[in-house]
Amino acid sequence: MIEEGENVSEMVTMPAMKPVDVAAREEAGPQTRETVFDIQALEASYGSNVAVRGVDLEIYRNLITAVIGPSGCGKSTFIRCLNRMNDEVPSFRQQGKILYHGIDLYGDGVEPVEVRRRIGMVFQKANPFPKSIYDNVAWAPRVLGLRKNLDERVEKALQSAALWDEVKDRLKRSALGLSGGQQQRLCIARAIAVEPEVLLLDEPASALDPIATQRIEELMHELKRDYTIVIVTHNMQQAARVADRTAFFSIDSDDSGRYGGVLVEYDETPKIFTAPSDKRTEDYVTGRFG
Ligand code: ADP
């Protein structure tokens, strides 16, 4: 558990870190796992700069998958590929394949708006709209024409985001009056109001204090029953606490000597933190690098 006042980010760079505590977890056996994303030879670039390459991995349903690695190794670029958030970046280029339930996410006829309805995203900095708490959660359902039983939909999303009890008496007040942690849970409620299947969380707690961080982590454990979660975090302890599986990305040079992110190792979280297969993973998780 995190103690108040503890500086979580410092742990990442400590030279001789004790092994991280890896929480006990129940993971479905390989036979019963359902693949949500099948990512094949993914390479993502901005202009001629390769942000990340060599990503081959499968993401499974109702598990929490963490992506860890040093700053600039392409974690954010990777997670944004999973719901086509990079489409708007003019210099962005992608090679390889991302299959979502067997369908090419970037194939002809696939609508980015529909992709983002099924695959929701929450960002590092809570970004509620300058509207009421209610209108924030009701926003996406209204855009999509889901106006029937809107009150129930809003309440359900706020319940699922563990925020209802704190806001039920002030739904018409501005979302900007909420604390940082509450705003982030509101953004989670906003994402789940259109009933996506997947939640992508890009450093969702890095701007929050330890208590608010703990609430987000507890919430993730609850959300996992209904959602498939992918989380980018620079906080290894957080990955060890919440994730079933962890992908470690690092920065490496390619054949022509150009540096970029690369997937080093992907496995069950306890294995990544206690018995990694690759020396680079070991160096990173023991604090010798990064
Ligand atoms: P991380 O999340 O691991 O810190 P990022 O995915 O943010 O890594 O960045 C990976 C690389 O891609 C970095 O070199 C970064 O400068 C570059 N990059 C990220 N976003 C953009 C962008 N919109 N335009 C150009 N380069 C970018």
Q: What is the pLDDT of residues 162-181, one digit of tens each?
A: 999 999 999 999 999 999 99
70 lines ligand 1 (CB under 6 A): no
Q: 4 has which bridge partners?
A: none
Predicted local distance difference test score (pLDDT) of residue 288: 79
Q: What are phi and psi of 116, to 5 degrees?
A: -75, -20
3-state secondary structure of 200: strand
3-state secondary structure of 55: strand
Confidence of residue 9 (pLDDT cuts 50, 70, 90): very low
258 lines ligand 1 (CB under 6 A): no
Domain assignment of residue 111, yes or no: yes
167 lines ligand 1 (CB under 6 A): no
- Higher local confidence (pLDDT), 20 or 113: 113
Those residues with Cβ within 8 angstroms of residue 28's Cβ, 6 or more apart along the chain or in another chain? 60, 62, 63
The residue whose CA has the least distance to atom 22 of ligand 1 is 46
The stretch 203-220 carries a mean pLDDT of 93
Domain assignment of residue 99, yes or no: yes
Domain assignment of residue 55, yes or no: yes
Predicted local distance difference test score (pLDDT) of residue 169: 97
Q: Is the confidence at residue 274, as pLDDT, over 80?
A: yes
Predicted local distance difference test score (pLDDT) of residue 5: 39
192 C-alpha to center of ligand 1: Å? Answer: 27
56 C-alpha to center of ligand 1: Å? Answer: 19
Q: Which of 12, 45, 48, 76 is the pocket-test mutation for ligand 1 (most atoms within 8 Å of CB)?
A: 76
Distance CA 91, CA 243 (A): 32
User: How many percent of the chain have pLDDT more than 90?
Assistant: 83
Domain assignment of residue 173, yes or no: no
Number of domains in the chain: 1
- In ligand 1, the atom with minimum distance to the C-alpha of 261 is 10
Range of the domain at 63: 8-23+33-129+200-220+231-285
259 lines ligand 1 (CB under 6 A): no
Domain assignment of residue 80, yes or no: yes
Confidence of residue 11 (pLDDT cuts 50, 70, 90): very low
Predicted local distance difference test score (pLDDT) of residue 253: 86
CA Rg, the chain, in Å?
19
Three-state SS string over 114-141 comes to HHHHHEEEECCCCCCCCCEHHHHHHHHH
The residue whose CA has the least distance to atom 7 of ligand 1 is 76
Q: Is the confidence at residue 17, as pLDDT, over 80?
A: no
Give me the sheet containing 119-122, strands edge to edge.
Answer: 103-104, 92-100, 35-46, 49-60, 259-268, 245-253, 64-68, 228-232, 198-202, 119-122
Query: What CATH number is given to the structural domain containing 236?
Result: 3.40.50.300
Predicted local distance difference test score (pLDDT) of residue 27: 56
Give the chain's largest Cα–Cα span: 60
Domain assignment of residue 182, yes or no: no
- Contact criterion met (CB below 8 Å) for 271 and 264: no
Question: At residue 16, what is the residue type?
Answer: A
51 lines ligand 1 (CB under 6 A): yes
Tokens of 220: 């993730």
The stretch 35-52 carries a mean pLDDT of 97
Q: Is the confidence at residue 267, as pLDDT, over 60?
A: yes
The residue whose CA has the least distance to atom 24 of ligand 1 is 46
Domain assignment of residue 172, yes or no: no
Q: Is the confidence at residue 189, as pLDDT, over 90?
A: yes
CA atoms within 13 A on the CB side of 254: 14
143 C-alpha to center of ligand 1: Å? Answer: 30
Predicted local distance difference test score (pLDDT) of residue 1: 41
3-state secondary structure of 290: coil
110 lines ligand 1 (CB under 6 A): no
Tokens of 281: 């993973």
Predicted local distance difference test score (pLDDT) of residue 166: 97
Q: 40 has which bridge partners?
A: 97
Query: What is the average pLDDT value for the chain, to the nearest integer?
Result: 90
Using CA atoms of 113, 114, 119, 121 in order, give the dihedral in degrees to the nearest 10: 20
50 C-alpha to center of ligand 1: Å? Answer: 9
pLDDT digits (tens, 9 = 90+) for 45-73: 999 999 999 999 999 999 999 999 999 99
Tally of residues, the chain: 290
Confidence of residue 130 (pLDDT cuts 50, 70, 90): very high
- In ligand 1, the atom with minimum distance to the C-alpha of 52 is 10
Domain assignment of residue 161, yes or no: no
12-21, 97-106, 124-133, 137-146: least confident range: 12-21
20-24, 39-43, 199-203, 277-281: least confident range: 20-24
Predicted local distance difference test score (pLDDT) of residue 256: 81
